[in-house]
Amino acid sequence: MKEYFGNIFTAFSTIFIGMKVTFKHLFIPAVTIQYPEVRPKLPERERNRLYVNMDDCIGCDQCSRACPVSCITIETVKSIPGEDLGKTSNGKKKALWVTRFDIDFAKCCYCQLCVFPCPTECIYMTDVYEFSEFERNKLVYDFVTLTPQEREEKSVNYQKFIAEKEAEKLKAAAEKAATPTEDKKPENQ
């Protein structure tokens, strides 16, 4: 009989101990963050997704050369005379059309080495860290503001301009070869 009442006492005491722990934590504020609704405060120097302000980009390709994993791809086309590309926000004059500026975030190691060599400070890290995708090719971000037709047009215009310049040089060389040169007579002494 003693064992029977001992088991009952042990059962109630363990229930009481468990309820004591439960009630103790019931009135303590939660430590966990309710993630989708509440965002954690990120450190000041966090390294997340890159952003490129194409209004300030001059197409110098320094960020691409600094990238250790080659995730930045830049293609540029020189502007032809008469085209006004404008200026960057810090006053630098643009001379190149940026026809391709892709960053492959599947390759990016978020080292921030591409940010520092930029002379116009147009590439920088943002506080966006949620950009998962189901397909890997959607992680290649295209930052160019030109439409595909405008990109092709800029390339074709530059090729035409180069072809015209070459034609002018050939024409000038042909004219120079066609004109008779005067024989210089030696001066009598």
CATH (domain of 117): 3.30.70.3270
Q: Is residue 5 part of a domain?
A: no
Q: Is residue 41 part of a domain?
A: no
Q: Is residue 189 part of a domain?
A: no
Sign (positive/negative) of CA torsion 101, 150, 94, 78?
A: positive
- Which candidate, 148, 98, 147, places its Cα nearest to that of 123? 98
pLDDT of residue 88: 84
Q: Is residue 163 part of a domain?
A: no
Q: Return d(Cα 2, Cα 68) in angstroms, integer.
A: 76
Using pLDDT thresholds of 50, 70 and 90, give the confidence band for residue 181. low
Token pair listed for 101: 């500026």
Q: Is residue 1 part of a domain?
A: no
Structure-model confidence comparison of residues 62 and 85, the more confident one = 62
Per-residue pLDDT for 8 more than 90?
A: yes
Q: Is residue 26 part of a domain?
A: no
pLDDT of residue 108: 93
Q: Is residue 109 part of a domain?
A: yes
* 7 CA to centre of own chain: 69
Using pLDDT thresholds of 50, 70 and 90, give the confidence band for residue 177. confident
Q: Is residue 103 part of a domain?
A: yes
What would the pLDDT profile of 128-161 be if each residue is shown by its tens digit? Answer: 888 888 999 999 999 999 899 999 998 898 899 8
- Domain extent, residue 69, equals 50-149
What's the domain count of the chain? 1
